[in-house]
Amino acid sequence: MRTFCAIAIVSSAVLLGAQGRQQVMIEWAQTGSVQSQTKYSTAADITPSNVGRLELAWQWRPKEMSLADQTQPGNFQVTPLMIDNVLYLSTPFNRVVALNAETGEELWAFDP
């Protein structure tokens, strides 16, 4: 669920910023944004005045089957990397997936 929220927030920030001015995408090429993992973003897209207008931009669901009763394919947390407007993430089932950061479209997946 946190994955969906994180992806939704990133997507919402992109859409809100695009409404008012030309937006420069802030990339997270490594976990935690920078090598020191501060998780700080210099983006000023989400402010106290517009945070209440955030909306879900898109949602992605993994295309995996449950292996056991306690194992649910969509029940995981991950910090995606974003490079060149592509989100990269891995699932608990060892799939690596690339998603379009603006639309949520699955670009490709590697399933070992």
SS3 59: coil
Q: Which token pair is 39?
A: 């998780």
Q: What residue segments make up the domains of the chain, in order of their start?
A: 1-35+75-112
Burial class (CB in 10 A: 0-12, 13-18, 19+), 70: exposed
Which has more confidence, 52 or 63? 52
User: Please, which pLDDT band fits residue 78 given cuts at 50, 70 and 90?
Assistant: confident
Please state whether beta strands 96-100 and 81-83 pair in parallel, antiparallel, or not at all (unpaired).
unpaired
For the residues 74-79, what does the mean pLDDT come to? 74
- Is the CATH code 2.40.10 the one for domain 1-35+75-112? yes
**Over 70: is that where the pLDDT of 109 sits?**
yes
> Tokens 């590697």 identify what position?
110
